[in-house]
Structure 1
């Protein structure tokens, strides 16, 4: 086995930052009515700006594959070109197509040469799974390099016209406010963007990051789905797939909208996160004092204090001065968020040789968690 280093990072954030007051103009009004949830959700999530692959009229400006390709192209220079790429590993929650794979569509835009591909699906951990595939490939000697990505183009899923056929149901919001929270609140939480890492088997460039280890956990064996799309949850907790619905119901029931069971989210997301992080650190004999920077992906600043408390209760209390986050000005970009955080830290000028970084990514899809521990070389 050889060592693996993140030698370069890059990002692509589409168009201009969108402020809180501009959001509804981009996404549109459902039933010609301003959202009742918007201000409450924005007050809790602490996000002030985000990015959309949309113009001011709500027209798409980029596909997910184009965002991803844009991030990858920032990695190319005189020392590493598209022709040098051996493995392309791409993670996303929101691919442009069911088929072909997201990685194949990105490779089609690169137009470089034949490479090995991997596409990771899921929710926020799709990006970490893509990173782990690239890490293991380079570490095993299968390839000498890999480009790994996380990306989302979720804005078009949240446009008002996607919900027009559900207006009759939306009129019952006063009687059933949970419908608003399951479907409406995510419109004010999620945004677009992509970022990419170059992994190589030798430390190159300024402040390369050695990947010491990666760990992942799933609790799907004991917990039902929390965040889902392309189906709907039944009373027994199972998900009825989109292919089992009549085509007319795809629209009337907003089957393809992204939904979240917030009761389950609040009950489990922090507890399982603290338990899994404690296990990851213990397995690799890492103590809190061994961490210089802690990069936790959180969907909302609402969860920050709760996460801190949950970690403290498990004996892995990380002082807040070690936390590094960019949610406020970049937004929640799902599987790309951890890439965008690390990219910003790598290019901040703060890192020095010997610093260590812990990446932490929860996924509420069916409660899975991923971690990576890095050392600045």
Structure 2
């Protein structure tokens, strides 16, 4: 087995940062009325700026594949060119189309050479699944290097015109034309962007590298119902009725393709199962949590930060609070790309020194999955 190192990380955040006051002017107002959820959600999530692959007029500027391509291109120089790539792994929850795969479309834009590709689906853990596929490929000797990505273009799913037909349908039923909180909630949570990581079987000759010691992932879908979903509707019994079983008329009237989240289930399980899985991973690798120098938790909202810290302490996991590192307030919740954006900022911050231990922690509320990675600065 080979040692695996993160030797480069890059990011691409489209256009200019968008502050809280600008959001609704770009995304639009559903049924011409301001959102009732916006103020509450923004107060709790702590996000001050985010990025959209749209301009101030709401016109689309980048596809998801283009965001990913932009991030990957920043990895290249004279010593590692686009033709040096042996494996491309791309994770996202918001591909531009159902078929072909996201990685296939990114490879098409790169237009470099014949190589192996892999697409990881899912939600926030898709970026970590992409990274793990590359990690295992390089570690096994299947490839000498891998470029792994996490990317999202959520903004186009959050525009008001995606919900106006549903609002009209509610009005025709003499109901209140207010979109359910499970849909409006996420309009003020998500952001666009992409991150890319280069994995190699040798470390950098100059500067630091991050050795990937191990990666783990856990799913609780065997015991918990769906929490976050798109392309279907949740029924009273907790099952999901897929978009293929609705008429094309219902796709619009019910906003079937919007991203939805059951906040009651989220509140009940996301922290508990996260700490449970974290305890499992520390025990499996006989790892002392107090040895962590930098803890990078992907947080969908700062609302969960204190709850997570409290639960970690109650579990007896002594992760130093001084080790916490996040940039949620500055870049927003970019789903599968968030962990890439955090690690990129930390790697080039000038703070790291050889021997430092880094822990990556990514939850996914889809049906509650959790992914972890342990890195050592070398």
Which TM-score band (shorter chain)? over 0.9
Alignment partner, residue 289 of structure 2: 288
1:102-161 Cα deviation digits (max 9, x unpaired): 000000000100010000000000000000000000000000000000000010000000
Name the SS of the counterpart of 1:2 in structure 2: coil
Moved more, 83-92 or 282-291: 282-291
Per-residue deviation, residues 304-361 of structure 1 (Å, max 9, x unmatched): 0000111112111322211000000100000000000000000100000000100000
Contact 2:168 2:177 in 1 (8 A): no
* Displacement of 1:78: 1.1
CA contact (8 A) 2:167 2:177 kept: no
- The gaps in structure 2 that reach 5 residues or longer are none
Partner of 2:80: 80
Report deviation, 1:170.
Answer: 5.7
- The 5 A counterparts of 1:111-126 are 111-126=111-126
Q: Which residue of 2 aligns with 1:26?
A: 26
Equivalent residue number for residue 182 of structure 1: 182
- Normalization by structure 1: what TM-score? 0.98
3-state SS, counterpart of residue 233 of structure 2: strand
2:30, 2:318 → 1: CA distance? 42
**Structure 1: how far apart are the matches of 2:291 and 2:149?**
27
* Whole-angstrom distance in 1 between the partners of 2:252 and 2:80: 46
Deviates most, 327-336 or 315-324: 315-324
Distance in 1 of aligned mates of 2:175 and 2:265: 22
RMSD value, Cα: 1.4
The DSSP-based 3-state class of the residue aligned with 1:134 is: helix
Structure 2 CA distance for aligned equivalents of residues 170 and 300 of structure 1: 30
Name stretches of at least 5 consecutive residues in structure 1 with no aligned partner. none
Question: What are the Cα deviations for residues 204-227 of structure 1, in whole angstroms up to 9, with x where unaligned?
Answer: 142100000000000000001100
C-alpha distance in 1, partners of 2:29/2:169? 15
8 A contact 1:217–1:368 mirrored in 2: yes
Equivalent-residue separation in structure 1 for 2:105 and 2:174 (angstroms): 39
Residue 127 of structure 2: aligned partner: 127
* Residues 173 and 180 in structure 1, CA contact (< 8 A), matched pair in contact too: no
Q: CA shift at 1:274, angstroms?
A: 0.2
Q: Residue 265 of structure 2 corresponds to which residue in structure 1?
A: 264
Contact 2:7 2:209 in 1 (8 A): yes
Deviation >2 Å, runs of 4+: 168-177
Give the count of matched residue pairs: 376
Which aligned pairs between 1:297-308 and structure 2 lie closer than 5 A?
297-308=298-309
Deviation track 1:274-300 (CA, whole Å, cap 9, x = no partner) reads: 000011011111112210000000100
Question: How far does residue 168 in structure 1 lie from its aligned partner after superposition?
Answer: 3.8
- Residue of structure 1 in register with 2:232 after alignment: 231
